[in-house]
Amino acid sequence: MDSVSYDIREPDSYDIREPDTTRHGAGRTRALATEAVHAGREDLARQGLHAAPIDLSTTYPSYDSRGEAARIDAFAADGAEPQGPPVYGRLGNPTVARFETALARLEGTESAVAFASGMAALSAVLLVRNTLGLRHVVAVRPLYGCSDHLLTAGLLGSEVTWVDPAGIADALRPDTGLVMVESPANPTLAELDLKALAHDCGSVPLLADNTFATPVLQRPAEQGARLVLHSATKYLGGHGDVMAGVVACDEEFAGRLRQVRFATGGVLHPLAGYLLLRGLSTLPVRVRAASSNAAELARRLAADPRVARVHYPRIGGAMIAFEVHGDPHAVIAGVRLITPAVSLGSVDSLIQHPASISHRVVDPADRRDAGVGDRLLRLSVGLEDVDDLWADLDGALGRTGARA
C-alpha cells in the first residue's frame, strides 16, 4: 500500500453522553442520549399522547383577526416564532417546530430553523448575510460539491475566496459575511480545528457543516461556530426516506432565517418534520453502531494491497473514503450488498464515486487540489453485519484489476 491517512478509535470510546447545556431538576444536565429521546416531546404525556402528532394543516382558523395581524407584524419585525395559535404553514408548523426544538437542544444552541433541503438551508444563510450587504464568503475546500458550486457560481450574488485554514484571517474583508467549513469534510474526511478557526473569524460568523459528525461526535457551537448546518436528509433522518436541511444557531440569526424561509417558501413538510423527530431518537445508537462498523472496515481496507490510501477521521464516525489502485468504477459496479448511490447516513451502506457524482460540478483542477482524486471512493457505512459488508467490498475490489 502506498500511503495511509488512518487513525482509528476503539468502538467503545465513542462518547454519546455529552451533556446538553439545558439544566433539568437539581442542577443536573441531561446526557445527549436522553435528549435525543425526549427533546421536543416533553409535553406529550400531559396531553395523553405518546407519539408526536403530525399537523398537516396548511392554514389555521382565527376569529381574532386583530390578534392574528399583531402576530404577523411581530414576525415581520424580528422573525420570532408567533405566540399563540399558528397562522399559516409557511410561517410555521407545530410538528416541524418540535424537530427544531430537539435539534437545537442536541447541538447546544438557542434555536434551529428547518428547511426543505440542506441546500435550501445554506441558501437562506447566504441570503440573510446578503441583505446586510455582506456578500463575501471565505470558505475552505473541500465542501459538498453543490455547496462549492453555489458559492463559486455566485448564484445568490455572493463572492467567494477559497483559502487554506491558516489563511482565513487574512482573507477577511469589510464585506465578509460568512466563513464556511466542513469538518469532517465531504468527501475526504479532512478535519479542522473549529475552535482555532472561530478565533480567526473574529466577528464574522463561522458556519460549520456538521452533517458527517452529527452532534453525537461533535458540537461546533461549543467550539465557537455561530451557525451549524446539517443536511438532515443524512444521519438526522437516518433511513433514506426524508429530505431536509436545518441550521442550528442563536435566536437572533434564527429570526432572520425564518423571515427568509417565509419569503422564499423553502419550508419543510410536516411529515418530514415528524420523520426527523423520530430519527433523532435513535441517532446516538445508530451513529455508535455504524461507527464501530466503519472503524473495522477502515482497518481491513488499510491492510488490503488493492487499496492505495484510506481516509478515516480521528473523531470517528460512519464515513470512510479510500483510493484504489485499480478502476474505482469497477468497485461501484461490483458491489451486491452495498448500494451504489449518492447520499449517506442511512441504516444501509452506500458507496459512490465523488469525482463522477457528488463533486462533478466542481472544476476538475479545484477538485484535485482539494484531494478529491479520480480513484477516490466514498463509503457510508450502515448497520449491516461487518463481515457481510467486508465480503461485499472484498468481492468488488477483486474486480478492479488490481492484484490482491
Q: Which DSSP symbol is given to 167?
A: G
Say whether 209 is catalytic.
yes
Among 20, 148, 200, 209, which one carries the catalytic annotation? 209
* 289-292 own/partner pairs: CB under 8 Å, 24+ apart: 289/383, 290/318, 290/381, 290/382, 290/383, 291/11, 291/14, 291/217, 291/316, 291/317, 291/318, 291/381, 292/11, 292/14, 292/386
**Which stretches within 282-360 are classed as H helix?**
283-302, 328-334
Buried b (16+ CB within 10 A) or exposed e, 359-369: beebeeeebee
- State residue 179 phi and psi, 5-degree precision: -115, 130
Among 6, 9, 60, 90, which one carries the catalytic annotation? 90
Say whether 195 is catalytic.
no
Q: Collect all residues with Cβ–Cβ distance below 8 Å to 146 and sequence separation of at least 6.
A: 119, 358, 361
Given a contact cutoff of 8 angstroms between Cβ atoms, the answer to whether 206 and 81 are in contact is no
For 103-116, the DSSP string reads HHHHHT-SEEEEES
Among 144, 235, 274, 312, which one carries the catalytic annotation? 144
Give, for 396, the enclosing helix (H) or strand (E).
helix 386-397
Sign of CA dihedral 141, 145, 146, 152: positive
Among 71, 234, 309, 378, which one carries the catalytic annotation? 234
Given a contact cutoff of 8 angstroms between Cβ atoms, the answer to whether 350 and 393 are in contact is no
Say whether 88 is catalytic.
no
Task: Indicate which residues carry an active-site annotation.
Answer: 90, 144, 209, 234
